[in-house]
Chain A
Amino acid sequence: MEKKHIKLISRTGNAAFDIATYIILAIIGFITLYPMWYILIVSVSNAQYINAGEISFWPKGINFEAYKIVFDNEKIWRAYANTILYTVSGTALQVILTAMCAYPLSRQDFYGKKVLTIFTTLTMFVSGGMIPLYLVIMNLHLINTMWAIILPPAISTYNMIVMRTSFQAIPHSLAESAYLDGANDIQIFAKIVLPLSKAIIATMVLFYAVAHWNSFFPAMLYLNDQDKYPVQVLMRDIIIAGEMTSDTGDVTGSLNIVATNYKYAVIIISLLPILFVYPFLQKHFTKGVLLGAVKG
């Protein structure tokens, strides 16, 4: 009887805990998703309802005018293509270089490993700053080329350390047996280590791709031709334009109203691709981060 009572209490306790968990998660979920939902519904609503502040949960006066304007804008398409180009090529290069840097540092028998690790880690805390970096890129004649966007961030030290830790988890005996079979280091890296590290590679792809997709500052700084701008530079301009209308009469008397739904349509369009990548990489993502976290 008493046992049953305890079981009942524990079951009720569990249920209460579950309910509380779900409620908290639902609140967090709502807080996370609502801004995105809001941007989506505003982008398809009529400006009149937006101005009146009547949009909260559902779109009103549904129309796709804003999207039509965005799709008609040739500049945005070109910028979009540039973003895809920088993201794909940048991510590919970054993942390859990061893996190539992480692998030797993960090997116990690599001479000078400690010193190299310390030097690499130092770059996480000390950087030359914007002007010196610009001068370096200028003297390398990379200004106004896509290399200025993809080379400087080619290896993120943090990601490299995560990857190195993940590689360290692969038993060294595997490499040793490959040596016995006549494989060299490059073969071991390409044929054994990389295939075993799909999870961490997927994670790195995601990290780097998201960073590239969102990045606007290097593009703004190092690129001169507007034809080469990624979409984020244009998006920033469109979004800030309304906020920065001149007080000094640059555009006298004409508040350059960039319609809110237009702004939000641009946001949605630039957000969607990266949003779609997440679910496909998610299973690797959780695993990959855990792998990298086992050893510090």
Chain B
Amino acid sequence: MSTKTALRAATAIALIAGGAAQAETITIATVNNGDMIRMQGYTDQFTAATGIEVEWVTLEENVLRQRVTTDITTKGGQFDIMTIGMYETPIWGANGWLVALDDMSAEYDVDDILPAMAGGLSHEGTLYAAPFYGESSMIMYRTDLMEKAGMDMPDSPTWEFIREAAAAMTDRDNEINGICLRGKAGWGEGGAFITAMSNSFGAQWFDMDWRATFDQEPWLNTLTFFKGMMDESGPAGYATNGFNENLSLFQQGKCGMWIDATVAASFVTNPNDSTVADSVGFALAPNTGLGKNSNWLWAWALAVPAGTQKEAEAKQFIEWATSKDYIELVAAAEGWANVPPGARTSLYENPEYQKVPFAQMTLDSILSADPTNSTVNESPYVGIQFAAIPEFAGIATEVSQEFSAAYAGQQTVEEALAKAQALTNDAMEAAGY
């Protein structure tokens, strides 16, 4: 190599190194799920376009919650973007812990975000987190088993119909359970399901004086119905089943119906993973005729913690990751069934996406969920499968443990409700309500 070439090479290396040294790096805490991991794969394109490097901290959902909560409450400054949900966003926004996303560019088209999602991720009308994907819950059922049972699934069935259909589809000899539902303890697991279900039975967590209502008829009806139906037609050990356990059962053809997150639709219809991919139908989550369905609303969203030194870069990333262009990028590379769902209105207006079998039911489920009016009677809180107050996660975890113990037969439904009533009121009084 000549001296000239060596000098050129050295200059090039120095320039690259200099450029790299000047490049900003943002750190993002996120949750381990398919859509988020897919986004990480496309980060190089964001870096190429903006020069901003991205470092990922990917954690399991519960670990992530603890990690980002600790960091934001102590102003630790470890992350420039945090992946949070509808529970945290309004509380953190109200506390001034998040940067308002009120200056997004015109191309971003903030009005295109589904109103239910924007509402759940705002505080007093200001958006504090941009939804990366959103979900509700719906019924996924085996069309072949429903046909064999001689029944037709309505678009919006009642719980009585579901119980009847579950009993008809159950075939213990062939290990087919009529219905699979979450019973696992945890406010985001079985706690989320039973809370959403209770809304359709006319129950609610708190009355207008913030007193627990587990001693009232609707809660007794909810739990009695749930346990009765699951004992008749659910899988053995349902008290410890969560999303993954039920997904596994459904994919192996061992569930007639499964009511859970709409994002599961892409898993159960994927022939690579599901043995029943070609015989899955969808319907709205059940109701009891009181005007509320039992579906929830959730979004994983990207937020910027107040105090970050890289606010502009963080917002730039959020604009890219939650944009219409990102959806098209994924669709072009991996097909429309793999784009992050439930965040933008325009996605559901796209003729290509409308061909995805679960697209319309997902949208209908999301649109039928209203976090600001989730209960039959008036309630003082926002949220469907949760009450958006800081105390809720701790209380609901304990309450769901009592419920799971009742499902497992370790105590009666009445005992579980009495304990839930006492512990909730104690905790709320201690918190000053």
The answer to whether A and B assemble together is: no
